[in-house]
Structure 1
């Protein structure tokens, strides 16, 4: 478990260092159908957050923690919702790193930047821990829970903040 933790820490630190040292361009790639890059960021982030909720519910179902609800498709739903959530999170991270950089203007932006680095570090740790044989039973729930908490904090400090400040726009 040491290698996944070290790799995750390296990813988190490298992401933070790059974001801090890189001169933000203020420019990011836009996607058709959105009025601007910030709208792309908040909607993709919201999609990733919705799929993270699916992740938690499917994990609880897989482990029999939803009463008698334990469908055979919970594992497939868990894997695919995680894959799609990660695919939605990557362009958001690229936008944050390239266009905005590591921000510490106020508590919200500092928390957002720190949780963003932590999220990708914990995600790396979890993905590298998955194939380890003989893994302690608490490792995946703890790493998965940390990834969920980090993504929730990121969403609260970006998408929810944006929607409550500027309104729900496309």
Structure 2
């Protein structure tokens, strides 16, 4: 800890890297339990095959889910780019504007909310599917996404996290969302003759 004189108090911060690593492991276990719980629920729950209410403008549930997931991915791409800019990792000479951190937070919140109707329908109405490789991967990515989200949100609020914890957890979160999107929404959009709204 830095004192008012500018010197570092070596004793007060001793052990913090170890404490941060232990805390990160605890958060990762919490995230793994969330992912596992969702997967178990989706597997043992009897799928209802009943759709949720449609959002205005969509004729069926599948295109609504595909577009909501796509909106979430677009917002998460913005999250990655804005985080890279705020941390000076983009080849941009201009410093990130002050309001970018607020946009970063809000875009993440809106992206997460956009995933909720999709996940709710996938788990409640369809269950954890493993009848082919694509659906098995989609189910795995979807459950793991919420586990990674749990881990990242816990790590975000904690002190003494390793410096690499947030970039790694954010990158994992992004990868899992893109994986879930690619094995469902992207797959849906590439089928011929499907309604787009």
What TM-score range do you get, normalising by the shorter chain?
Answer: over 0.9
Instruction: Say if 2:34 is the partner of 1:11.
Output: yes
2:62 equivalent in structure 1: 38
1:22 equivalent in structure 2: 45
Matched ranges for 1:118-137 at <5 A:
118-137=144-163
- Partners in 2 of 1:120 and 1:161 — Cα distance? 21
2:177 equivalent in structure 1: 151
What's the CA shift for 1:25? 1.2
The 1:135–1:156 alpha-carbon spacing in structure 2 relative to 1, beyond 3 Å, is: same
Residue pair 1:48, 1:89 contacting (<8 A) in 2 also:
yes
User: RMSD of the TM alignment (CA)?
Assistant: 1.1
What's the CA shift for 1:168? 5.8
Give the 3-state SS of the residue equivalent to 1:96 in structure 2: helix
Deviations for 1:58-82, whole angstroms, at most 9, x for unmatched residues? Answer: 1101101112242222211110110
TM-score (norm: length of structure 1): 0.96
Count of matched residue positions in the alignment of Structure 1 and Structure 2: 170
2:12 equivalent in structure 1: none
Unaligned runs of 5+ in 2: 1-23
Unaligned runs of 5+ in 1: none
- Partners in 2 of 1:24 and 1:89 — Cα distance? 19
Instruction: Say if 2:25 is the partner of 1:2.
Output: yes
- Partners in 1 of 2:166 and 2:124 — Cα distance? 31
1:58 equivalent in structure 2: 82
Tell which structure's C-alpha radius of gyration is larger: 2
TM-score (norm: length of structure 2): 0.83
